[in-house]
């Protein structure tokens, strides 16, 4: 569906997402397109030292950093790395993520992953489309202890943030946004180094870096399985365009991870042991959730800038005891959960993008066609009412925006792990799986850490807590106080 887009600034800007039509079917099937133009892709070679499967954020980042480190250390060259995607860069979640980059995690070890990731975002903010506007998270008093604990852990990982409570929290918020309604907002966390990135820019930047460092990028080849030797090591990656033998594999397959996991011999169910000793028996390894997201255009005269005339920090608000009513007074939910960022490149006009808590699907889902193309997993009507109501509850200027909700397809699905925290680990001794549990657009640094490990030999400390073995040894994560699975 297309609607007229207001353009109050009358800027002649090119908005890559503006009313993008759905792609045509290919041989009767709807397919997920690459989200950027592709140059210099090659045919599948018969062998390579490193095969990277999936050109989402993790595959692209791994391939780029592998190529760069091989060249720089004289241990090889970019052409030792083959990157394969069945469609092209950004065809999965990476191309349609909200692009929020934050460190708001109750799972302490993720703070170091995010520090390493923000270093990558900061390394080339222009080509990655990184806007380092900060991240402001707001809660009720029942989250104060969590925020203080989280701030201490962030500080220990080299990620500075501030916590404000009570009247200080209110003053912080109204200093940024004089029309902010501080009722029920008891605690604020402000992360300085966080922000957001335009997903198409990030994909473009990463793909260009792969190209510049000489990665052999094979787009349009579908991996159909892996050939394993008797010890379970991958000797070749099988595709619909032939077989490629290899020494090491990196899998960054996003929502398709369960399929690759099965091919590589990973378990479908497992007993999950928690630090307090209790065991959840035979849990599904993968559970799909669908994300509820949307976009709202800003009417003429309304902006989302701060009182200091800056692009606003990304804002995340969870008020567990505050109900949400629609702007015409209907009860919608007994709790408030909303995030929002400025998103002109996504909306195709001055506008906002954000969402709320995802919805659990279960252990199986129709992954194809993916994302916006899949009729089954689009946000329902209530979401637009809810999302616009939350914006109006927070800001005077954002009241009554429901008519400006952009009626188009949105959202996507992801495969979550048993504790909703990433698994970064080997299956066998040479298939490294980056399974980010569907909140890892921000985790661009995992590819860098992966490449360091593969080129230099030692596993970086940041990656160590995220083994599959944690479920067996009782180091399962799960320390969270939120209605949402990804804190
Ligand atoms: C709606 C939505 C909003 C999100 N918002 C945020 C956010 O704001 N911040 C954040 O940090 N995270 C966010 N996420 C999560 C984030 O987008 C994902 O965790 C991340 O992009 C996953 O990256 P990936 O590289 O693992 O997978 P993907 O980006 O899904 O890439 C996987 C690639 O593998 C390819 N592939 C799969 N199988 C095969 C095969 N057999 N052969 C060849 N190629 C194959 C696919 O074509 C695809 O291109 C969001 C996710 C969704 C769905």
According to DSSP, the residues that pair with 155 across neighbouring strands are none
- How high is the mean pLDDT of the chain? 93
Which ligand 1 atom minimizes the distance to the CA of 239?
A: 42
Helices 57-73 and 445-456: crossing angle, nearest 10°?
A: 40
- Indicate which residue's Cα is closest to atom 2 of ligand 1: 97
Identify whether 69 is part of a domain.
yes
Confirm or reject: Cβ of 102 under 6 Å from ligand 1: no
- Residue 190 belongs to domain with CATH number: 3.30.9.10
Res. 35: pLDDT tops 50: yes
Q: Are residues 292 and 261 in the same domain?
A: no
Confirm or reject: Cβ of 442 under 6 Å from ligand 1: yes
In which band, very low, low, confident or very high, does the pLDDT at 33 lie, cut at 50, 70 and 90? confident
Q: Are residues 167 and 243 in the same domain?
A: no
Confirm or reject: Cβ of 356 under 6 Å from ligand 1: no
Q: Are residues 313 and 461 in the same domain?
A: no
According to DSSP, the residues that pair with 236 across neighbouring strands are 227, 245
Confirm or reject: Cβ of 59 under 6 Å from ligand 1: yes
Confirm or reject: Cβ of 70 under 6 Å from ligand 1: no
Distances (CA, A) of 264 to 45, 63, 428: 22, 20, 8
- Distance from C-alpha of 59 to C-alpha of 84, rounded to nearest angstrom: 9
Q: Are residues 318 and 409 in the same domain?
A: yes
Distances (CA, A) of 398 to 41, 124, 260, 302, 388: 45, 33, 44, 8, 8
Res. 2: pLDDT tops 50: no
Stretch 248-258: mean pLDDT: 98
Query: Tens digit of pLDDT for each residue in 332-381?
Result: 999 999 999 999 888 888 999 999 999 999 999 999 999 888 889 999 98
- Indicate which residue's Cα is closest to atom 1 of ligand 1: 411
- Indicate which residue's Cα is closest to atom 31 of ligand 1: 56
Which ligand 1 atom minimizes the distance to the CA of 99?
A: 8
Q: Are residues 308 and 327 in the same domain?
A: yes
Q: In angstroms, what is the span from residue 176 Cα to ligand 1's centroid?
A: 33
Q: In angstroms, what is the span from residue 77 Cα to ligand 1's centroid?
A: 27
Res. 3: pLDDT tops 50: no
Identify whether 119 is part of a domain.
no
Identify whether 226 is part of a domain.
yes
Last residue of a domain, one of 392, 416, 440: 416
What tokens were used for 207? 């793909």
Q: Which of 54, 341, 352 to mutate to test the pocket of ligand 1 (most atoms within 8 A of CB)?
A: 54
Which ligand 1 atom minimizes the distance to the CA of 57?
A: 25
Whether the CB-CB separation of 172 and 133 falls below 8 Å is answered with no
Predicted local distance difference test score (pLDDT) of residue 475: 96
Q: Are residues 423 and 411 in the same domain?
A: no
What tokens were used for 216? 């052999």
Q: In angstroms, what is the span from residue 253 Cα to ligand 1's centroid?
A: 7
Q: In angstroms, what is the span from residue 439 Cα to ligand 1's centroid?
A: 9
- Indicate which residue's Cα is closest to atom 20 of ligand 1: 441
Q: Are residues 331 and 461 in the same domain?
A: no
Is 413 in a helix, a strand, or coil?
strand
Identify whether 25 is part of a domain.
no
Q: Are residues 205 and 262 in the same domain?
A: yes
Closest to 84 in 3D by CA, of 256, 290, 268: 256
Q: Which of 53, 62, 95, 97 to mutate to test the pocket of ligand 1 (most atoms within 8 A of CB)?
A: 97
Q: In angstroms, what is the span from residue 286 Cα to ligand 1's centroid?
A: 15
Confirm or reject: Cβ of 86 under 6 Å from ligand 1: yes
Res. 228: pLDDT tops 80: yes
Is 51 in a helix, a strand, or coil?
strand
Q: Are residues 324 and 400 in the same domain?
A: yes
Confirm or reject: Cβ of 255 under 6 Å from ligand 1: yes
Predicted local distance difference test score (pLDDT) of residue 480: 74
Domain with 324 in it: 131-194+287-416
Confirm or reject: Cβ of 254 under 6 Å from ligand 1: yes
- Residue 90 belongs to domain with CATH number: 3.50.50.60
Stretch 156-170: mean pLDDT: 97
Identify whether 125 is part of a domain.
no
Res. 14: pLDDT tops 60: no
Q: In angstroms, what is the span from residue 207 Cα to ligand 1's centroid?
A: 15
Identify whether 458 is part of a domain.
yes
Identify whether 39 is part of a domain.
no
Q: In angstroms, what is the span from residue 101 Cα to ligand 1's centroid?
A: 15
Identify whether 260 is part of a domain.
yes
What does pTM read for this prediction? 0.96
Last residue of a domain, one of 416, 435, 452: 416
- Indicate which residue's Cα is closest to atom 34 of ligand 1: 54
Query: Tens digit of pLDDT for each residue in 73-106?
Result: 999 999 999 999 999 999 999 999 999 999 999 9
- Distance from C-alpha of 316 to C-alpha of 136, rounded to nearest angstrom: 6
- Distance from C-alpha of 435 to C-alpha of 210, rounded to nearest angstrom: 21
Confirm or reject: Cβ of 411 under 6 Å from ligand 1: yes
Predicted local distance difference test score (pLDDT) of residue 411: 82
Q: In angstroms, what is the span from residue 368 Cα to ligand 1's centroid?
A: 13
Q: Which of 65, 94, 110 to mutate to test the pocket of ligand 1 (most atoms within 8 A of CB)?
A: 94
Which ligand 1 atom minimizes the distance to the CA of 60?
A: 25
Confirm or reject: Cβ of 253 under 6 Å from ligand 1: yes
Q: Quote the number of domains for the chain.
A: 2
Q: Are residues 61 and 206 in the same domain?
A: yes
Q: Which residues contact 389 (CB under 8 A, 6 or more apart)?
A: 324, 325, 326, 327, 332, 402
Confirm or reject: Cβ of 207 under 6 Å from ligand 1: no
Q: Are residues 397 and 309 in the same domain?
A: yes
Whether the CB-CB separation of 215 and 78 falls below 8 Å is answered with yes
Predicted local distance difference test score (pLDDT) of residue 472: 97
Predicted local distance difference test score (pLDDT) of residue 6: 54
Q: Find the DSSP H helices in 157-214.
A: 166-176, 199-212
Helix (H) or strand (E) holding 243: strand 242-251
Q: Are residues 324 and 176 in the same domain?
A: yes
Query: Tens digit of pLDDT for each residue in 289-340?
Result: 999 999 999 999 999 999 999 999 999 999 999 999 998 999 999 999 999 9
Confirm or reject: Cβ of 424 under 6 Å from ligand 1: no
Confirm or reject: Cβ of 291 under 6 Å from ligand 1: yes
In which band, very low, low, confident or very high, does the pLDDT at 1 lie, cut at 50, 70 and 90? very low
Percent of the chain surpassing pLDDT 90? 85
- Indicate which residue's Cα is closest to atom 40 of ligand 1: 223
Q: What is the DSSP letter of 261?
A: H
Last residue of a domain, one of 370, 390, 416: 416
């Amino acid at each position: 569906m297309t609607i007229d887009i207001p353009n109050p600034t009358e800027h002649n800007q090119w908005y890559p997402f503006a009313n993008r039509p759905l792609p045509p079917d290919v041989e009767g099937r709807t397919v997920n397109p690459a989200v950027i133009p592709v140059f210099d892709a090659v045919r599948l070679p018969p062998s390579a030292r490193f095969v990277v499967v999936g050109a989402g954020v993790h595959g692209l980042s791994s391939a780029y950093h592998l190529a760069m480190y091989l060249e720089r250390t004289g241990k090889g060259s970019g052409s030792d790395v083959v990157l394969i995607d069945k469609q092209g860069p950004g065809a999965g979640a990476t191309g349609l993520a909200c692009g929020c980059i934050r460190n708001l995690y109750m799972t302490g070890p993720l703070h170091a992953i995010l520090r390493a990731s923000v270093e990558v975002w900061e390394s080339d903010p222009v080509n990655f489309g990184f806007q380092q506007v900060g991240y402001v998270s707001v809660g009720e008093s029942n989250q104060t202890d969590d925020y203080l604990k989280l701030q201490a852990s962030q500080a220990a990982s080299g990620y500075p943030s501030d916590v404000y409570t009570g009247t200080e929290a209110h003053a912080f918020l109204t200093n940024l946004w004089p029309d902010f309604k501080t009722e029920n907002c008891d605690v604020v966390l402000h992360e300085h180094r966080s922000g957001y990135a335009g997903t198409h820019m990030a994909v473009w930047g990463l793909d260009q870096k792969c190209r510049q460092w000489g990665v052999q990028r094979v787009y349009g080849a579908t991996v159909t399985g892996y050939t394993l030797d008797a010890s379970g090591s991958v000797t070749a990656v099988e595709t619909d365009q032939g077989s490629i033998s290899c020494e090491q594999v990196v899998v960054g397959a996003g929502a398709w991870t369960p399929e690759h996991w099965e091919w590589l011999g990973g378990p479908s169910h497992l007993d999950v042991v928690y630090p307090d000793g209790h065991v959840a028996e035979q849990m599904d390894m993968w559970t799909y959730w669908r994300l509820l997201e949307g976009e709202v255009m800003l009417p003429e005269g309304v902006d989302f800038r701060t009182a200091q005339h800056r692009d606003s920090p990304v804002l995340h608000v969870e008020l567990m005891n505050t109900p949400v009513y629609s702007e015409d007074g209907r009860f919608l939910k007994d709790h408030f959960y909303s995030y929002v960022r400025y998103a002109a490149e996504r909306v195709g006009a001055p506008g906002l993008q954000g969402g709320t808590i995802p919805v659990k699907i279960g252990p199986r889902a129709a992954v194809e066609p993916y994302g916006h193309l899949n009729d089954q997993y689009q946000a329902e009507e209530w979401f637009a009412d809810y999302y616009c109501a939350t914006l109006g509850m927070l800001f005077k200027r954002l009241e009554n925006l429901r008519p400006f909700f952009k009626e188009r397809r949105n959202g996507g699905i992801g495969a979550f792990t048993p504790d909703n925290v990433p698994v970064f680990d080997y299956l066998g001794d040479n298939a490294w799986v980056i399974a980010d549990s569907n909140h890892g657009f921000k985790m661009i640094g995992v590819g860098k850490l992966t490449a360091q490990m593969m080129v230099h030999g030692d596993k970086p400390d940041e990656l160590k807590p995220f083994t599959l073995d944690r479920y067996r040894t009782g180091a399962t994560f799960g320390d969270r106080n939120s209605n949402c699975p990804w804190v």
